[in-house]
Amino acid sequence: MLVAASGVSSDQKAKPAPPPKAAAKPPAPKNPGKAGGTPKKGGGGLYNPLNPVQRLSQMTPEQRERVLEQLPPERQAQMRQQLEKFDSLPAAQKERLSRLAQPLTALPPARQRIVYQGIVGINHLPEDRKKPVRQELLSLLEMSEEERSARLASDDFKTKYSRQEQKILSDLSTNLPAGYPIAGRH
């Protein structure tokens, strides 16, 4: 999500599959596009460890198959291809991605949904907006709660960012777990 992890399903083009049926999983986003996966080099997007491929990769082969069978044939084929790509990653990289997902999957379902939607939102921004929004997120995460609230309410913030960007920044900066690793963070 917030770490530039290399290789995981960066070329997703279809609408993300709904997450596996489990009470604690966030719903799939309403917009088609690159939910999850790794942002392209220099894109400023965020890695989404709550993406369906990441979740499916943590299931047994039998559980995966049951979930995949519920998808339309075209989506099944896409998910199988992405799972194959994920499964072919070196063990160290899969372990690293799994560690990234743990603090997020420990969040209550409502906060997982907010984080998931915020990540998808950043990754759907135009390329020229991803980097400034990501930089602002890094800055907001370093602030105390009072400083963050003041920044989010400031005229400068409201004129610099669209309403969509403001919501993404507000949601992520207030719902990401404390100390969550983000590329570029000190």
Cβ-contact 51, 36 below 8 angstroms: yes
Range 128-141 burial, b when 16+ CB lie within 10 A, else e: ebbeebbebbbebb
Token couple for 102 = 């743990």
Report the predicted TM-score, pTM, of the whole model to 2 decimal places: 0.60
Tens digit of pLDDT at every position of the chain (186 positions): 343 333 333 333 334 444 444 433 434 433 333 334 444 444 455 555 556 777 787 788 898 899 889 989 998 898 888 888 888 889 888 888 777 777 888 889 899 889 889 988 998 999 999 999 999 999 999 999 999 999 999 999 999 999 999 999 999 999 988 777 665 554
Contact 26, 117 (CB under 8 A): yes
What is the three-class DSSP state of 4?
coil
Res 183: pLDDT: 56
